[in-house]
Structure 1
Amino acid sequence: MILVTGGLGMIGAHTARALADLGQQVVVTAHRSTAVPSFLEGEVVVEQLDVTDRSAFLELGERYDVTGIVHLAGSIPGDDPVAYFRTDTAGLFNALDAARTWGVRRFAVASSLGVYIGQGESPWHEGIPLPAVELPHLIIAFKKAVEPLTTHALQGSGVQPVILRIGSTWGPLMDPESPFNFVPPYVSAVLQGETPDPLYAEDGGDSCYAPDAGRAIALLMTADALNHETYNVSSGRPLAHRELADALQQPCKSGGQANPHLDISRLRADTGFVPEYDTAQAVAHYVAWRSGNAR
């Protein structure tokens, strides 16, 4: 059985569904809301858990034969950065403690494409140096710290670490007014009958539809062998804003320049991952989902 913490969030829920589709038994944790999205109903076991509670976390191992952990649980920073770091570090340490105690096969943890900020080379691949630059957000700072904490904590344990440098992911269950990705708010405006501000046609950058991101993570957890500890998780191609506008029949402005995107050669080589959705298919799927769901 594979444990997915934060398994009812956007990436977690799609990861859990992909694991179930691959024939895995899955238990997901959620801290506050345990409302299960329709695509997960009957597919997973749900446990309400505060991942900062070490005893409660370790008790899961008494009820389930957990063979792998995908740690995606996290909080949103408030006004106190120390409180945010304390909370999410406690959750990470408890997950690592559980991985070592239970002797799981693999421990995957969410990092971010934000660790590459400041690196001018594009596309971003796992072998390029990570720049020592000021980071724009507390979440990215924490994700960058997660990587060495995880690999060092698991050394000599027999547990294989899998660092997930997750790209700019959007899709069902994301906050439709999210400040972290412009696609859901743009789609929301169209669905509400508004005309969003025209996008620059050539602007864009990394993008991955959530069901594809979940399937990539599931493949990393179930592959017979992995040749690396760190993997980019995304579509492997930049999303040009003209593609999004065309899919929603909206006008564009000429000009713009794409931002870097993630190279997924490692992911593809070790798992055979190929994205299922192109931009038009992702937009159509998301619009259909939003027609019956608030987020």
Structure 2
Amino acid sequence: MSAPYQLVHYALHGEKALLPKPGHTAWAYVRDVAQAVVSLLECENRRYVYHACSIYPFSMLDFAQELSKYFPGFEAEVCDDPSLANVHFFSQKDNGLFDMEGVRADSGFVPEYNLEKAVADYVLWLKKNRR
């Protein structure tokens, strides 16, 4: 499971999330990725490869802190001993944001969902669709 999914799971169940590190990497919100794809499908001149990610840097610890605004009692922290973490990342190394200039130059698309807007939108969707 992705780190965001794991954090949402713990938030929904009122469990404390223990991260092995803050988790800085090129996270993306699905609505931005979908809109990037649509904008590229509609443009006339396309390259072969594009990056689709956020232009707003944030860590999974930031994501967890934003989630706590919607789930009272939810806590997350980076643990001193990474082996005790209950949130797991796909990669041990963090990376930076990817270059979105190609998408912007070819289609005019610029991601609109910063961390706060993405979490608010996702929590609203989750409340409407959770079974």
TM over 0.5: yes
- Identity, % of aligned pairs? 28
Equivalent of 2:15 in 190, 194, 207: 194
Number of residue equivalences: 114
CA distance in 1, matches of 2:35, 2:104: 12
Stretches of 4+ aligned residues off by more than 4 angstroms: 254-257
Aligned 1:48-197 pairs, distance under 5 A:
179=1, 181-197=2-18
What SS does the aligned partner of 1:197 have? strand
Equivalent of 1:230 in 49, 52, 64: 49
Query: Relative contact order, CA 8 A, sep 6+: which one is greater?
Result: 2
What SS does the aligned partner of 2:58 have? strand
Gaps of 5+ in 1: 1-178
Is 2:110 the counterpart of 1:274?
yes
CA distance in 2, matches of 1:186, 1:212: 20
**Bigger strand share:** 1
Is 2:65 the counterpart of 1:246?
yes
Match of residue 294 from structure 1: 130
In 1, are the aligned partners of 2:16 and 2:76 still within 8 Å (CA)?
A: no
Cα RMSD (Å) = 2.5
| CA displacement at 1:241 relative to structure 2 | 2.2
Give a deviation string over 1:124-179, Cα, whole Å, max 9, x none.
xxxxxxxxxxxxxxxxxxxxxxxxxxxxxxxxxxxxxxxxxxxxxxxxxxxxxxx2
Give a deviation string over 1:194-240, Cα, whole Å, max 9, x none.
22224633x221111111000000000111333x2211122245431
Equivalent of 1:216 in 36, 45, 49: 36
What SS does the aligned partner of 1:208 have? coil
Structure of greater Rg:
1
In 2, are the aligned partners of 1:268 and 1:274 still within 8 Å (CA)?
A: yes
- Please tell me the residue identity of whatever aligns with 2:40: L
| CA displacement at 1:259 relative to structure 2 | 2.3
TM-score by length of structure 1 reads 0.35
| CA displacement at 1:242 relative to structure 2 | 2.9
Give a deviation string over 1:79-112, Cα, whole Å, max 9, x none.
xxxxxxxxxxxxxxxxxxxxxxxxxxxxxxxxxx
In 1, are the aligned partners of 2:56 and 2:115 still within 8 Å (CA)?
A: no
TM-score by length of structure 2 reads 0.72
Gaps of 5+ in 2: 69-74, 81-91
| CA displacement at 1:190 relative to structure 2 | 0.3
What SS does the aligned partner of 1:232 have? coil
What SS does the aligned partner of 1:184 have? helix
CA distance in 2, matches of 1:254, 1:279: 23
